[in-house]
Structure 1
Amino acid sequence: MRAYRFLNQVVKTCRNLSTVATYRSAQSTKYYRYHLAGTVAGAVVLYHCYRNKVFAATTVKDGRARWMDDPITDIEALEKSPNSMRTKMELLLMRVQAEFCHALEEQDGEKKFHVDRWMRKEGGGGGGITCVIQDSPVFEKGGCNISVLNGMLPPDAIAQMRARGKDLPQDKSLPFFVVGLSCVIHPKNPHVPTLHYNYRYFEVQKEDGSTVWWFGGGTDLTPYYLVEEDVVHFHKTLKDACDKNGNRGLYPKFKIWCDDYFHVKHRGQRRGVGGIFFDDFDQPNQEQAFQFVKSCAESVVPSYVPIVKKHKNDSYSYAERQWQLLRRGYYTEFNLVYDRGTKFGLVTPGARYESILMSLPLYAKWEYCHKVEPGSKEEKLVTVLKNPKDWV
């Protein structure tokens, strides 16, 4: 109780100094968490208190909370296994989620992300933190969702994994764990591209007790009007992230994989100008694979936010808005027809459909037999979507 009284005194002192932006009392009988969001001298101090110990104190600049909400996994469990890949990925993605949401809030200048914490009620344990911004000055709809799930993997999902070469038994249900962060941002201005990124870690426990694990993810850009220097910046930032830690051969491989994966086959076009995409990644070992994923996840803000800042106040016409809505219809077609993550989510027991379908735009349109005008800006984009090119 000594640590508890000490923390209460810290909170009272900060309140007297008008430096507390957020204060949360106990969320369970097991631990206490206090957010002391300092607006003076620079910082947020997060205290985790369990029994008679203060486990951690982390200072974050600019008065921003380190996470959008408490981790899904119990704090005590995380602190008992700091070197577990489950712990490392959950804490990485919690941080990336918060940094990305705060960066977009800064660009918007008016609205904040609505934070929706949910827990899985059936089909296993876990839950998620869905952050959504909607009808704001800059963003028509944006979702950034972290999920931490475990339970029994149904045969349908295992069949998908077997089709990708996973050594898993047929017609069996197996224990699984997955932690992932998935974000899609649909800006209002047609001159600001849509962004998608997803990074995840997956484990399946086989009947003999051994574990099959892998990473997956990627980041890709869907512009409505082609600004080549923006696309070059986007790809170069991703390439620099891939090249860290001596992984210079991965960007070209994952760039092609991205172009092939985000292919709206029935329209003969890619969804956008690509980026990187990978799945079943387990080389050369777990720690080095994690460092690669970490570098890629941390590249999202510098790859995208400068483009938002550059174009969010551009003027646009009614015709440009209609073209944006039409392209969003094609975006929706890919997500519902081809996207592997959507398919997996929909067959997972206890799935939360609001979070799975958060990637869909707020508005879209379908126009019968639409044709682009020859020589137009729209045709310039479609040409690249039909014939992907190297950008760096």
Structure 2
Amino acid sequence: MSGKTFTALGLAAAAAAFWSQKPAIQTVECEAPPKKDEKKKSIKTAEDDKKRKLEGLTPDSPMRLRMEAFNKQLQAEITARLEKLDGVGKFKVDSWNRVEGGDGISMVMQDGKVFEKAGVGVSVVYGMLPPAAVAQMRAQHPNIAATKESMPFFATGISCVIHPHNPNAPTVHFNYRYFELGSEDGGEPVSWWFGGGCDLTPTILYEEDAVHFHRVIKEACDKHDPRYYRDFKKWCDEYFYIPHRNERRGVGGIFFDDLDDKKPDELFAFVQTCGKAFLDQYVPIMERRKDMPFSDADKHWQQIRRGRYVEFNLVYDRGTKFGLLTPGARIESILMTMPLTARWEYMHEPDLKAHAKLMETLRVPREWIPL
């Protein structure tokens, strides 16, 4: 890979590893990849962090380690609950390590009794960000000083996508992540932020399910800032839009990125509340819908809607596109979000009134609960 065509590989690896919905860096022209001696900085930070984890984490431990620990604990809780709900399916565990520093765990269930496919992934990535990539990042984070040197970065995230068998049960997605740009001396990060969100994608619209999903996440947001749900719900409706279809992917939820407007501990608490709310958001819906009867027409409609899900992820989702263009990316992890089955038909129109009702909602976003 030549210097002229070098893609901001460090951050690309991070985005590819945990399916970031909005990577901060696009493909850039820059001088050269980070040098070997520069890479040693991120490796040293990773090694130092291993020692810190062995000693035990405290409320004063670096935020990156606390977020990593939270992600892995949440992954364990969610996968255990989903296995119990499915009753038959088990998660395959795929653990991996990065030479430059970091590791991850991809857990995927396929062909369960309830879930056609469910994936919960956690990634921890250390690396070096080239100067041109740092320069682009300054547009959103002006506290980052101009530099001609690569800078160490850290990224961790948890991402989950669930595709049920029953078309009465909705697909769901969430992602919560943390990024920091390190200092030269290994001290406090130069810049940091949180991002994430959750959204629901039904095949057949049950308004009470959408209301429940939004109410639970609004309650989580309101514990931290009364503006969060309103602002992040709007952001979600805008992000999960499929322009060539003139429709949204689903009934929304919340979406946020570059969140650094409060103290780190305050925003970490917010992200924890949102992550912990997921099972309350989704499990009651699944318990209502997983055993409902459905017709061949419903299953056919589900496959058409799955096709729309694939279109959004491959054409518009920034993290997916970024990852697929990244040399050496974990393709299996990036494509974990894809359903096992989907369908495309020429000039398809919904056959049933219940199916058409969903389309009306996808074209014009609704306020599911009072603001």
Give CA deviations for 1:219-247 in whole Å, capped at 9, x if unaligned: 110000100011101100000100114x1
Check the 8 A contact 1:157/1:347 in 2, yes or no: no
**Aligned counterpart, 1:144:** 120
> Alignment partner of 2:89: what SS?
coil
What is the RMSD of the two structures over their aligned residues, measured on CA atoms? Answer: 2.3
Q: 2:358 pairs with 347, 356, 381, which one?
A: 381
> Are 1:358 and 2:336 counterparts?
yes
Specify which structure has the bigger relative contact order, considering alpha-carbon pairs within 8 angstroms and separated by 6 or more residues: 2
> Are 1:248 and 2:226 counterparts?
yes
> Are 1:289 and 2:272 counterparts?
no
**Aligned counterpart, 1:369:** 347
User: What is the 5 A alignment of 1:168-317?
Assistant: 173-205=150-182, 211-245=190-224, 247-317=225-295
> Alignment partner of 2:106: what SS?
strand
Residues 182, 197 of structure 1: alpha-carbon distance in 2 compared, 3 angstrom cutoff: same
Give CA deviations for 1:168-218 in whole Å, capped at 9, x if unaligned: 559874321001001100011101100100000001236797521000001
Residue type of the alignment partner of 1:265:
P
Q: CA deviation at 1:317?
A: 1.3
Number of aligned residues: 316
**Aligned counterpart, 1:114:** 92
- Give the structure with higher Rg (CA): 1
Q: So what's the TM-score if we normalise by structure 1? A: 0.75
Q: CA deviation at 1:340?
A: 2.1
Q: CA deviation at 1:255?
A: 0.5
Q: So what's the TM-score if we normalise by structure 2? A: 0.79
Q: CA deviation at 1:149?
A: 0.5
Check the 8 A contact 1:157/1:348 in 2, yes or no: no
Residues 155, 142 of structure 1: alpha-carbon distance in 2 compared, 3 angstrom cutoff: farther
> Alignment partner of 2:198: what SS?
strand
Q: CA deviation at 1:154?
A: 5.1
For residues 138 and 213 of structure 1, the distance between their equivalents in structure 2, rounded to whole angstroms, comes to 39
Check the 8 A contact 2:156/2:177 in 1, yes or no: yes
Give CA deviations for 1:114-146 in whole Å, capped at 9, x if unaligned: 11111124xx22121000000011111111000
**Aligned counterpart, 1:391:** 368
Q: 2:111 pairs with 132, 135, 140, which one?
A: 135
Check the 8 A contact 2:141/2:191 in 1, yes or no: no
Residue type of the alignment partner of 2:309:
Y
User: What is the 5 A alignment of 1:11-160?
Assistant: 74=50, 76-77=52-53, 79=55, 82=58, 83-121=61-99, 124-153=100-129
Residue type of the alignment partner of 2:252:
G
> Alignment partner of 2:103: what SS?
strand
Residue type of the alignment partner of 2:315:
V
Residue type of the alignment partner of 1:251:
Y
Check the 8 A contact 1:187/1:193 in 2, yes or no: yes
- For structure 2, the residue ranges without an aligned partner over 5 or more in a row are 1-48
Residues 104, 81 of structure 1: alpha-carbon distance in 2 compared, 3 angstrom cutoff: closer
For residues 104 and 370 of structure 1, the distance between their equivalents in structure 2, rounded to whole angstroms, comes to 33
Q: CA deviation at 1:248?
A: 1.2
For residues 228 and 152 of structure 1, the distance between their equivalents in structure 2, rounded to whole angstroms, comes to 46
For residues 163 and 332 of structure 1, the distance between their equivalents in structure 2, rounded to whole angstroms, comes to 31
Q: CA deviation at 1:159?
A: 7.2
> Alignment partner of 2:257: what SS?
strand
Residue type of the alignment partner of 1:188:
H
Q: CA deviation at 1:371?
A: 1.9
Check the 8 A contact 1:157/1:344 in 2, yes or no: no
Check the 8 A contact 2:143/2:190 in 1, yes or no: no
> Alignment partner of 1:299: what SS?
helix
> Alignment partner of 1:103: what SS?
helix
Larger displacement relative to structure 2 (77-86 or 286-295): 77-86
> Alignment partner of 1:267: what SS?
coil
